[in-house]
Amino acid sequence: MSVEIVFVLVMVIAMFGALLFEIASPAFIVSLVLVIFLITGILSPKEALSGFSNEGMLTVALLFIVAGAVQKTGIIENILKSWLDRSNTLLGSMVRFFIPISLLSGFLNNTPIVVTVTPMLKKWCEVRGIAPSKFLIPLSYATILGGTITVIGTSTNLVVHGMLVDYGYRGFSLFELAIVGIPITIVGLLYIFTIGHKLLPEHKGFQQQVKEDSKEYIAELIVEAFFPYLNKSVKKAGLRELKGLYLVEIIRGKERISPVRSTTIIQKDDRLIFTGLISTITDVQMTKGLTLRTGTDLEIDELKNGNTEIVEAVISHQSNLQSKSIKQSQFRSRYDAGVIAVHRKNERIASKVGDIVLKPGDSLLLLAGKDFVEKYNQSNDFYVLTPLDTPESLKRNPVKEKLTIIIFISMILLVTFGLLSMLKGMALAVILVFLTKIITAEEAKRYIHFDVLLLIASSFGIGMAMTKTGLAGRIAEGLLTIGKPLGLFAILLAIYLITNIFTELITNSAAAILMIPIGLEMAASLQIDPMGIAVLIAIASSASFITPIGYQTNLIVYGPGGYKFTDYIKIGTPLSLIVMAMTVTIVYYWWF
């Protein structure tokens, strides 16, 4: 084994570990490894930058704009709302809702669909007294399944398509993945309708949580000079026996008092760190001399006169806020909003609000102005999920709605009949939505997830380094040595399993890009159709059902649904096994 192979192997393992333990954002980690390969001469500048001009990556960028235009017009929301309003039973609502959602996900990026639909779905559930947790994980799963129907259904499919083209293969046709995608979507939805939804917990929605709150939040109150119990014990101040609220720490200058005892004396300027129910926190801040620290000039009392509102937002995978404390991120000046409280995956965070280091999936309760949602609805930093009235920018415009539908369907038909490539068809659609003023260039920038594009483009270089040095070939050789005695079906099963495990632990695009070079090497050694292997890896990279961190849509619904990690394991494991069995079987009999 050469020094180059060993070096690339060590860097790939280090990259995998960094992604797994969320040391930094995925885009930063992968691009850093790419730069190291460039500096050390493993890759030439042309090879290192090849991903930035890759057809798949550029198509993903254009897809973000087209999906943004559809999202802006409110077509998705209007169609799905009308479908939901006709439903009365839980099962009937699921059938009416998730079948069209799956079909939409085949042609639009599923992340904006989930971001758009989640507030509407939660509000609909709360009005009817249905637990949103019964709908949110199924929403994510339905969009993931639907995304496997076409090559433009997910960015992962386009990434695999782009890599195939780079390696000299023809790439996917628009509906080639449907051979597997349609059967697994039908069976997957049947599982959700019959068994899956029964395994989910019943967690109340956000509006009930604000009133009764089943989540534990962290909040910080400051002791003012006029607090009536100054220099008295915590017990005498009545802060020990609060219903649903616990005083976890007192910060006094540089001193941290934890655990807080009932005899602890309260002093002026103490920072009281509470964890518990947001309703009780807001009650406590009404106490004379205790001020809720929000990091903004906005005050809780302003909720009464309608000048402010409470907004729930979830930190995204692409967020510039992750791995920074709320104070370091200058949240107040950046968004003109204050963080009232933070909730993390049913985990108690022992820190004052300003010092909490944010992670993907964290739920923030924000005290913000009335225009906050409209201003930051497309921010890559977080997903704004509070059910609100439709902002002015999303008010219906029938002419633009029709134009958007015509442009989108025309693009699909041109690509389907081979008159345009996917890249050219998407580029034409983008030009038309600009010319018809459905979307502006400034708005388009907000819809593009630049961190996702950086991750994809950088990952291409990692895959190239694995192929160029021979690492991909060595790994493929090792897998074949183990798998050959067991037969081709076992080899396909192993490829699927490894890809799927990577997806659940790191990210879908990174998993696909790591496995495609290995898969193609194995196909060459076995002298079998490489397209079958590519389809297998594309589906396995998207089929993330067991963890909330493997796929963006799972993360989006994690905090708002009040889910535990085990909820994904409980409902996702059977679905994952079903999809794996069907995919490997179909690929084996169709392509080989």
pLDDT band at 48 (very low <50, low <70, confident <90, very high): very high
Most confident of 105-114, 181-190, 229-238: 181-190
Exposure string over 310-333, b if 16+ CB within 10 A, otherwise e: bbbbbbbbbbbbbbebbeebebbe
Portion of the chain with pLDDT greater than 90, in percent: 31
| pLDDT above 90: residue 188 | yes
Could you give the number of structural domains in the chain? 2
| pLDDT above 70: residue 480 | yes
Q: What is the pLDDT of residues 455-470, one digit of tens each?
A: 888 888 888 899 899 9
Residue 413 belongs to a domain:
yes
Domain match, 89 and 201 both: yes
**pLDDT (0 to 100) of residue 528:** 92
Q: What is the pLDDT of residues 87-128, one digit of tens each?
A: 667 788 888 889 989 998 998 878 778 877 887 787 788 777
Look up the CATH number of the domain holding residue 365: 3.30.70.1450
| 451 vs 299 pLDDT, higher one | 451
Using omega within 30 degrees of 0 as the cis cutoff, is the peptide bond preceding 360 cis?
no
Domain match, 186 and 301 both: no
Residue 159 belongs to a domain:
yes
Q: Scan for tokens 């415009």, then name that residue.
A: 397
Q: Scan for tokens 């995978």, then name that residue.
A: 317
| pLDDT above 60: residue 53 | yes
| pLDDT above 80: residue 20 | no
| pLDDT above 50: residue 238 | yes
Q: How is residue 584 written in tokens?
A: 């490997």
Domain match, 160 and 190 both: yes
* Domain end marker among 384, 412, 430: 384
Domain match, 257 and 183 both: no
Q: What is the pLDDT of residues 163-174, one digit of tens each?
A: 888 888 988 999
* Span of 43-57, 280-294, 460-474, 555-569 with lowest mean pLDDT: 280-294
Q: Scan for tokens 């920038």, then name that residue.
A: 445
Q: Is the separation of the CB atoms in 370 and 307 below 8 Å?
A: yes
| 21 vs 295 pLDDT, higher one | 21
Mean pLDDT estimate for the chain: 83
| 572 vs 339 pLDDT, higher one | 572
Q: Which alpha helices (DSSP H) does 195-341 contain, by range?
A: 206-211, 278-284, 331-335
**pLDDT (0 to 100) of residue 176:** 94
Domain match, 143 and 263 both: no
pLDDT band at 217 (very low <50, low <70, confident <90, very high): low
Amino acid letter for position 523:
A
Domain match, 83 and 179 both: yes
Which residues make Cβ contacts (< 8 Å) with residue 435, sequence separation at least 6? none
Domain match, 144 and 201 both: yes
Residue 4 belongs to a domain:
no
Q: Which candidate, 305, 193, 278, places its Cα nearest to that of 571?
A: 193
**pLDDT (0 to 100) of residue 489:** 95
Residue 1 belongs to a domain:
no
- Judge if pTM exceeds 0.85: no
| 72 vs 174 pLDDT, higher one | 174
Q: What is the pLDDT of residues 397-437, one digit of tens each?
A: 778 888 988 998 899 899 888 888 888 999 999 999 999 98
* Domain end marker among 449, 466, 486: 449
Beta partners for residue 274, in sequence order: 219, 247
Q: Is the separation of the CB atoms in 334 and 279 below 8 Å?
A: no
Around 100, how many Cα atoms within 13 Å sit in the side-chain half-sphere? 14
Domain match, 281 and 151 both: no
* Span of 39-43, 248-252, 566-570 with lowest mean pLDDT: 248-252
Domain match, 177 and 268 both: no
Amino acid letter for position 184:
I
Distance (Å, whole) CA 120 – CA 127 = 11
Q: What is the pLDDT of residues 192-216, one digit of tens each?
A: 999 998 898 886 544 444 444 434 5
Which residues make Cβ contacts (< 8 Å) with residue 168, sequence separation at least 6? none
Q: What is the pLDDT of residues 306-365, one digit of tens each?
A: 566 778 788 887 788 888 888 888 887 788 787 877 777 655 565 666 778 888 888 887
| pLDDT above 50: residue 387 | no
pLDDT band at 390 (very low <50, low <70, confident <90, very high): very low
Residue 404 belongs to a domain:
yes
| pLDDT above 90: residue 557 | no
**pLDDT (0 to 100) of residue 158:** 87
Portion of the chain with pLDDT greater than 70, in percent: 88
**pLDDT (0 to 100) of residue 341:** 72
Residue 112 belongs to a domain:
yes
Domain match, 197 and 211 both: no
Domain that holds residue 438: 59-205+395-449
CA angle 528, 530, 535 (to 5 degrees): 125
Domain match, 354 and 244 both: yes
**pLDDT (0 to 100) of residue 109:** 78
Domain match, 286 and 140 both: no
**pLDDT (0 to 100) of residue 334:** 84
